Amino acid sequence: MKIVSIMGSGSLGKEVDLETLVDELRNEVGESLDANFQSPGIVTVKLGENSPAFSIYRTGSFQIRGALGHEELNETVNQLLQLFANIGFETSDVDFEEKTAVFMDEVNQGLELETLAVRLGLEYTEYEPEQFPGLVYRPPEYEATLLIFSSGKVLVVGTAKQEVARSALQSLDETLENTA
């Protein structure tokens, strides 16, 4: 199982003038800064082509999306705070936590999703191939959602905890073995 993406959010503890912040960041890092104002109250910033994305809200809340692991997410938070320090944007007691991740694995077999939906329990599954090509499974014993594809690929979302994702996948594997 590997982490495909991880997201965290936090608060800077104060309101932010987004236009000024983006101008100052651009002066610090140059033209590699990509800033997209989604509305007057939010800007999404990338520091380079393969960089995680920072969504910064006028309220001082922020999110980091697209890190490839826990270590990269923490390094990215530190990088953002260092950039803020470099431009004189003071932050104190920044509150930040990992919120959710996307884990990917394979169950090593092609799957008949309609049959699997019945096996897993229709009350826990959604399968509408005209809307989404995968089976959405919400196992009642885990705080996670599994997106299961006929190719055998499985995405686990809704948790940042690798142990939860691993247990949910193991439970799916056991169900598949018992019904094969």
* Opening angle at CA 63, ends 132 and 164, nearest 5: 60
- pLDDT in the model for residue 165: 95
Q: Report pTM.
A: 0.79
Q: Of the given ranges (24-33, 58-67, 153-162), which has the lowest mean pLDDT?
A: 24-33
Judge if 2-99 and 107-178 fold alike in CATH terms. Answer: yes
> What radius of gyration do the chain's Cα atoms show?
20
Sign of the C-alpha dihedral computed for residues 16, 36, 10 and 68 taken in this order: negative
- pLDDT in the model for residue 163: 94
Residues 91-128: pLDDT tens digits?
878 889 999 999 999 987 778 999 999 999 999 999 99
- Average pLDDT of the chain, as a whole number: 92
Q: Does domain 2-99 have CATH number 1.20.210.10?
A: no
- pLDDT in the model for residue 90: 87
- Domain parsing of the chain, residue ranges: 2-99, 107-178
- pLDDT in the model for residue 179: 67
Residues 8-40: pLDDT tens digits?
999 998 999 999 999 999 999 888 889 999 888
Q: Does domain 107-178 have CATH number 3.40.50.1970?
A: no
> What is the Cα–Cα distance from 102 to 105, expressed in whole angstroms?
10
Average pLDDT on 65-86 reads 92
Q: To which H or E segment does residue 146 belong? A: strand 145-148
14's tokens: 């104060």
- pLDDT in the model for residue 180: 58
Q: How many CB atoms lie under 10 A from the CB of residue 36?
A: 12
List residues bridging with 19 in a β-sheet. Answer: none
> What is the Cα–Cα distance from 176 to 180, expressed in whole angstroms?
6
Per the CB < 8 A criterion, the answer to whether 62 and 56 are in contact is: yes
